[in-house]
């Protein structure tokens, strides 16, 4: 039953994530629908996420309602920067798709773990290690090769997606800060969306007003297949349906992603993320005709190797953290002696899998080892 639910969750995540990527590329790219207001569209999507999240906690998942509200200081120093960084990440990502290919976009965004780690160092969430620094160097080399080898390089689009990647690193580092503090009241993605989406929407609207020309809302521009939103009733219904579809897709992906995390292990989720990137690049080649050079592909392989190593280090650290906690707090309950300085037992292979999926075992999960001298 669990395996069937896990497969359905993986398939649902792939379907919604890939559909959203293809949707954004099709809607904003100049060679396709060419709707010229990506920031304004993303503002509407974030507003929809807020409305849908509140609807969900009222009617569908009341247990996910935020139990607490962050203090004013925490809101200004942690929640607000996280909301703005997320808004910039999503908005600039969508803007970049006007001029760069979906494949190149995915390749550059694969470097996000570099900035996640750097911001984690900055916020003292992680301690710098030679292993992490080595992984950063591998991913950076891979991204550089992908950028240098890009078939149709556009400087503006590259700058947009690269800044979005930096914002993605800041965003996830701040999310880790928010989730680590119960007083924030953001212990699930719905609660997090309720607090962050209004900030994301406001920041996106602000920069949309500063940088985007709103004439396509009233007059259909040349070389665009998107009718003016307020030009006619037919145009309004047409564009309203298309824009609403993106907002619903983004929200459904959020729910499916949360479900996937809850029914799979950390290892499975990490592998699925890497496979999803490869799948996105492959599908964009067949649908949009994206072309690659040998340098592109070499850079992609190097970057993926870096991602695998990064996830391995992250998962190992999580296991060690659980292992250490179990050793010091619960060993007595299992009747096992533990050297406080040097652990004298560890998990067996089967219990690692259960630990990853949140299913902690009993006494049979402990395998005595000789203390390390």
> Any residues with CB less than 8 A from the CB of 156 and at least 6 apart, and which?
99
Instruction: Determine the Cα–Cα distance for residues 164 and 231; give it in Å rounded to an integer.
Output: 32
Please identify every stretch of the chain with a pLDDT value under 50, giving residue numbers as ranges.
2, 328, 331-373
What pLDDT does residue 80 have?
Answer: 93
Global pTM value: 0.80
8 Å CB contact between 283 and 22: yes
What pLDDT does residue 75 have?
Answer: 87
Query: CB 282: neighbour CB atoms within 10 A?
Result: 12
Instruction: Determine the Cα–Cα distance for residues 42 and 252; give it in Å rounded to an integer.
Output: 16
What pLDDT does residue 129 have?
Answer: 86
Half-sphere exposure of 21 (CA within 13 A, CB side): 24
What pLDDT does residue 255 have?
Answer: 83
- pLDDT tens column, 224-241: 888 888 888 888 999 999
Q: Tell which residue, 310, 40, 70, has the closest CA to residue 174.
A: 70
What pLDDT does residue 175 have?
Answer: 81
8 Å CB contact between 256 and 9: yes
What pLDDT does residue 337 have?
Answer: 43
What are the structure tokens assigned to 9, written together?
A: 């969750």
- pLDDT tens column, 165-179: 999 999 888 887 777
């Amino acid at each position: 039953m669990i395996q069937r639910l896990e497969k359905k969750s993986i398939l649902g995540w792939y379907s919604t994530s890939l559909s959203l990527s293809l949707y954004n590329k099709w809607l904003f790219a100049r060679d396709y629908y060419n709707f010229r207001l990506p920031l304004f569209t993303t503002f509407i999507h974030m507003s929809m996420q807020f409305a849908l999240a509140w609807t969900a906690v009222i009617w569908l998942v009341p247990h996910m309602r935020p139990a607490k509200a962050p203090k004013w200081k925490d809101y200004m120093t942690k929640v607000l920067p996280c909301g703005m960084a997320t808004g910039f990440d999503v908005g600039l990502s969508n803007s970049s798709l006007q001029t760069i290919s979906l494949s190149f976009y995915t390749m550059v965004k694969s470097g996000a773990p570099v900035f996640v780690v750097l911001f984690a160092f900055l916020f003292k969430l992680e301690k710098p290690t030679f292993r992490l620094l080595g992984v950063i160097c591998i991913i950076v080399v891979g991204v550089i090769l992908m950028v240098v080898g890009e078939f149709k390089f556009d400087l503006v689009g590259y700058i947009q997606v690269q800044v979005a990647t930096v914002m993605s690193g800041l965003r996830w580092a701040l999310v880790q800060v928010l989730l680590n503090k119960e007083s924030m009241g953001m212990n699930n993605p719905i609660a997090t969306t309720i607090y962050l989406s209004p900030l994301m929407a406001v920041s996106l609207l602000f920069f949309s007003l500063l940088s985007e020309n709103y004439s396509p809302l009233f007059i259909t521009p040349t070389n665009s297949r998107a009718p003016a939103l307020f030009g006619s009733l037919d145009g309004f219904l047409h564009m309203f349906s298309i824009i609403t579809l993106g907002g619903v897709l983004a929200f459904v992906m959020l729910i499916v992603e949360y479900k996937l995390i809850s029914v799979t292990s950390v290892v499975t989720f990490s592998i699925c993320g890497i496979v999803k990137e490869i799948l996105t690049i492959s599908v964009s080649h067949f649908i949009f005709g994206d072309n690659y050079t040998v340098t592109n592909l070499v850079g992609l392989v190097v970057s993926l190797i870096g991602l695998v190593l990064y996830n391995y280090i992250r998962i190992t650290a999580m296991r060690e953290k659980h292992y250490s906690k179990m050793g010091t707090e619960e060993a007595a309950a299992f009747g096992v002696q533990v050297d406080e300085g040097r652990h004298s037992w560890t998990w067996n292979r089967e219990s690692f899998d259960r630990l990853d999926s949140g299913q902690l075992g009993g006494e049979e999960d402990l395998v005595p080892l000789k203390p390390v001298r």
